[in-house]
Amino acid sequence: MTTAPSLPIPHFLYGTAWKEQRTPALVELALRAGFRGIDTANQRRHYFEEGVGQGLDTVYRAGMVKRADLFLQTKFTYHPGQDHRLPYDPAASLSLQVAQSMASSLEHLGTDYVDSYVLHGPSSGYDWTDDDAEVWEAMKQERDAGRTRLLGVSNVSLSHLEQMSALHSEGPAFVQNRCYARLGWDREVRLFCREHNIVYQGFSLLTANLEVLRHPLVVGLAARARATPAQIVLAFARAVGMLPLTGTSNAEHMKQDLASSTLTLPAEEVHGIETLAG
């Protein structure tokens, strides 16, 4: 087995949800634009992971990038989050489902390791359950076997993380959550992540916060910086310690999103955006 290189975590992830048959072409487009981090999931209901692999194969064949240049992140999704196109035997134990899902992901992506393997969401909206504990331990086995470098959890509350921390000797390297300005940009979870050296991945930063993109503060900052409101929000996300995701299908927006990494916002403006609606 190939030993996974210690690739630095990229400053941006390209999200591949809800793209269906456009997935291969959009993954290729994102990589040509300059993205080097790709987020997907072995959940055919919302993702076409095999299509991600097809896009990757195209750019590999073109000699544009090598596998070692990329940060690939995928997810294990419980049965209730799937449709009929399951990546594992639903009658198998959860531990075996994790292993089967990982094997399927590696086949889809044309690789023998991923850089990050994420639990797509706990089994309960309220508690970290015995099922979650079993899945997490199985994910650690995948990591220890070299099939992933890092582990994460997604769609979690502060309560989930506190219970997880109390139960397991090892926590996640990543937390990936949808991030709403009206809820303080997930402030409590972000604080937990900061205190526990966890990288917070924020998704739906633009689509969940359309009112922020129209807010006079953000519009004014964009005008002064000769940037777009979306670039200001992404620059804000980095300023407060987030690793942002974008799922745009627009080539120009891809370039603009990547260019936002050069923007630096004054501390008082960062504070102003953080307290817009929370």
* pLDDT confidence tier of residue 8, bands split at 50, 70 and 90: confident
Quickly tell me which residue has 């990589």 as its tokens: 31
Q: Taking Cα atoms as reference points, which of 230, 204, 226, 205 lies closest to residue 215?
A: 230
SS3 177: strand
- Taking the CA of residue 239 as centre, how many other CA atoms within 13 Å lie in the half-sphere pointing to its CB? 20
Give 98's strand partners: none
Percent of the chain with pLDDT over 90: 96
DSSP 8-state assignment for residue 110: T
How many angstroms separate the CA atoms of 206 and 95, rounded?
Answer: 35
- Between CA 164 and CA 166 the distance in angstroms is 5
Q: What is the pTM of this model?
A: 0.95
Looking at residue 7, its pLDDT comes to 67
Topology of 13-178 in CATH? Answer: TIM Barrel (3.20.20)
Give the pLDDT score at 114: 98
For the segment 185-221, what is each residue's pLDDT rounded down to a tens digit? 999 999 999 999 999 999 999 999 999 999 999 999 9
**Average pLDDT of the chain, as a whole number:** 96
Rounded Cα gap, residues 161 and 128, in angstroms: 8
3-state secondary structure of 15: strand
Q: Region of 90 please: left (phi>0), alpha (psi -120 to 50) or beta.
A: alpha
| Alpha carbons 50 and 46: distance in angstroms, whole number | 12
**Domain ranges for the chain:** 13-178, 206-278
pLDDT digits (tens, 9 = 90+) for 218-233: 999 999 999 999 999 9
Which of 273, 173, 194 minimizes the C-alpha distance to 232?
273
Predicted confidence band of residue 6 (pLDDT cuts 50, 70, 90) = low
pLDDT at 193 (0 to 100): 98
pLDDT over threshold 90, residue 19: yes
pLDDT higher than threshold 70 for residue 2: no
Distance in angstroms between the alpha carbons of the first and the last residue of the chain: 48
Which residues share a beta bridge with 152?
A: 118, 174
Per-residue model confidence as pLDDT tens digits over 109-147? 999 999 999 999 999 999 999 999 999 999 999 999 999
**What phi, psi does 125 have (nearest 5°)?**
-75, -5
pLDDT over 60 (residue 272): yes
pLDDT tens digits for range 60-117: 999 999 999 999 999 999 999 999 999 999 999 999 999 999 999 999 999 999 999 9
